[in-house]
Amino acid sequence: MSKTYRMIGYIREGPDALDRTLEASEAAIQSIAARVRKNDFQRVIVTGIGSSYTAAVMAAPIFRYHCPLPAYVMSAPELGYYASRLVDRRTLVIAVSRSGERDVVINALTDSVKRGAFGVAVTGVADSLLAHSAQLALISGEGPEITFPKTKSVIACAGLLMRLGLALARSEDKEAAERLHTLQSMPRSIERTIKAIEPALQALMPAIEVHELVAVVGTGSNYGVAIEGAMKIQEAAYVTTRYDSTDGLLNGPVGALTDKWLVVPLITAYDVRLSQGLLRVARGFGAHSLCICEPNLELEGLADYVLTLPEPVDPLLAALVYLPPLQLLTYYWTIARNMNPDVPTSTRAILDAVLPPGREEPELR
């Protein structure tokens, strides 16, 4: 019997982590929304690195669709290029770091506050440097996650940012109220997804694990999932993986595909025709495909392998449901390669590079 690692437990805990986070953060979110309505804010900037940044990209469509202020989602290093033009007293800066110890994110927040911005920290650790550097902290409720590749905390963070984006909507925005109800029901949708997808994925692993190269693609909130999924597969299973938008891969890069490639499109009803075109071209170049999709989409004869979600999903919240299948893919692919998904061999070198001197990941203190 193969060893079970912590990571699989954390993936399965994702729904409850999101549930706890949404419930515990509501008062603080309403406080932020009230401040935005009261003051003359002109823009919102959401920033982070790594999985915290990808969580922000997953939530970006909510901000763009419902928030009446211009919303910028950018990595913490990128923010430095534009801070002199974008960050002032009329700016809400939301800095995201699950550990709250990432040097570049802390610096981005402290610099923004010095420029007059109202700084909000989104973190899983209340006593972190990031939380102490902010004027208000939103603490996600996933609890300890003693693995380097984070899973449940990404779900919790993305959901928390989506909730904040909806809270910033105008009071007359009826769609935002409806979408909030859907968001609150997402933990159970994620639970059903994991239950349906996990055994189906395990059955496919012998056919999947032989591939040497992977491309993960999606549109809308699933573009953030594509970035996160590619990062997870590469950092844990050490399989070379790239991400792109569905149309981005189709318009040029698809020509480099061969039979060594596995293309993983995240397909919704919105982008099914675009995905069908990608699948046809990819197959023509010899690549195989593993599609993660809503039910009742026309993929017969186009996909080699299909993982079907148990129910349709809201297009702006889709990331919360499409992410767990990629987390499961990462876990079982890493196990198939006889590697430890909890602590990749590169962990220490990466942490030494990204943490401030003398600081440590919360669970490794």
User: Which residues, including other chains, have CB under 8 Å from residue 350's CB and lie 6 or more apart?
Assistant: 148
pLDDT over threshold 70, residue 354: no
**Whether 124 contacts 99, CB under 8 Å:** yes
Q: Is residue 199 domain-resident?
A: yes
**For the segment 262-276, what is each residue's pLDDT rounded down to a tens digit?**
999 999 999 999 999
179 and 214: one domain?
Answer: no
31 and 81: one domain?
Answer: yes
Q: Is residue 323 domain-resident?
A: yes
182 and 195: one domain?
Answer: no
Q: Is residue 361 domain-resident?
A: no
pTM of the model: 0.94
269 and 131: one domain?
Answer: no
Query: What are the start-end ranges of the E strands in 124-221?
Result: 136-139, 213-218
46 and 163: one domain?
Answer: yes
pLDDT in the model for residue 36: 94
Domain extent at residue 226 = 188-341
How far CA 98 is from CA of 72, 217, 259, 318, 342, in Å, comes to: 20, 24, 37, 21, 16
- As a residue count, the chain comes to 365
Write the CATH number for 13: 3.40.50.10490
Of 186, 210, 242, the one marking the end of a domain is 186
The number of domains in the chain is 2
Of 161, 186, 211, the one marking the end of a domain is 186
pLDDT in the model for residue 320: 98
Identify the band that residue 4 occupies on the pLDDT scale cut at 50, 70 and 90: confident
Of 141, 159, 186, the one marking the end of a domain is 186
Q: Is residue 1 domain-resident?
A: no
28 and 107: one domain?
Answer: yes
